[in-house]
Structure 1
Amino acid sequence: MAALSPSRQHAPLSGRRIFIVEDEYFLADDIGRTFRALGAEIAGPVGHLDDALKLLHDGGVLDAAVLDVNIRSEMIFPVARELKARNVPFVFTTGYDRITLGPEFQDVPLLEKPIDLAAMARRLAALIAEPRN
């Protein structure tokens, strides 16, 4: 894995707006705090599917997202489909198996809970840096 340049090493998400959808309050807070420390602006966090869809349509630019697969017994797939259509990279977080995602989202990184927040940040930074169609 290529190392981040010194100017980006301490803030690999600097200037990036990261959308967080997570219904576990403390985890959402930890993710937001970690990403802010790495220079990101946080959209959310939100813990309801309806709130996630509203924020998604607020007109703001999103550079990447962290999506909990199951939000209060609702699957996050409508949000994931829209992010995919917009070419916004994202990762799923879950306690479920990958099979839950079905074939539509097999290419999306899946991070199992409990989450290594530093590894998640590195993964998002790498996804943002990848060229997209």
Structure 2
Amino acid sequence: MIDLKLDGLRVLVVEDEMMVSMLIEDMLGELGCLVVGPASRLDEAMALARDADIDCAVLDVNLGGQPIFPVADLLRERGRPFAFATGYGDAGLREVDRGSPVLQKPFREGDLARILGELQAAVD
């Protein structure tokens, strides 16, 4: 069931594991969202976070050993809400990022929809 609030939501996906990225893309498609990216490297993610027309983002905390925090900072500067996707909860986050939405890996489509609803509310 598609939540109409999420229909057409432009979501930047940053994830370095191809299978996880494909799963997130499929979930977003089922929810009626538009996938931006996905980006699997920090430089790609930075370029999309800076230049792409997005409403929000789902960020893997660790991209091949590189922390995602420069992308989070850029999105924060642009006023674009984001959620971290991690298997470590908020334990791996910086102090400035505590309180940000976190998708605990592995997550289900319902978890993603709930977080996207929170991010959408931040956009409105």
* TM-score normalised by structure 2 residue count: 0.89
Q: CA deviation at 1:111?
A: 1.8
- CA RMSD, Structure 1 to Structure 2 (Å): 1.9
What secondary structure, in the 3-state scheme, does the structure 2 residue paired with 1:61 have? coil
Q: How many residues align?
A: 124
Following superposition, which runs of at least 4 residues in structure 1 exceed 6 angstroms of deviation? none
Q: Give 1:107's aligned residue.
A: 99
* Structure 2 counterparts to residues 119-130 of structure 1, below 5 A: 119-130=111-122
Q: Is the 8 A contact 2:84 2:103 kept in 1?
A: yes
Give 1 or 2 for the bigger CA radius of gyration.
1
19, 31, 37: which is aligned to 1:38?
31
The residue type equivalent to 1:35 in the other structure is L
Gaps of 5+ in 2: none
The residue type equivalent to 2:43 in the other structure is D
Q: CA deviation at 1:123?
A: 1.4
Percentage of pairs with the same residue: 38
Q: Is the 8 A contact 1:34 1:117 kept in 2?
A: yes
* Structure 2 counterparts to residues 1-133 of structure 1, below 5 A: 9-58=2-51, 60-130=52-122
Gaps of 5+ in 1: 1-7
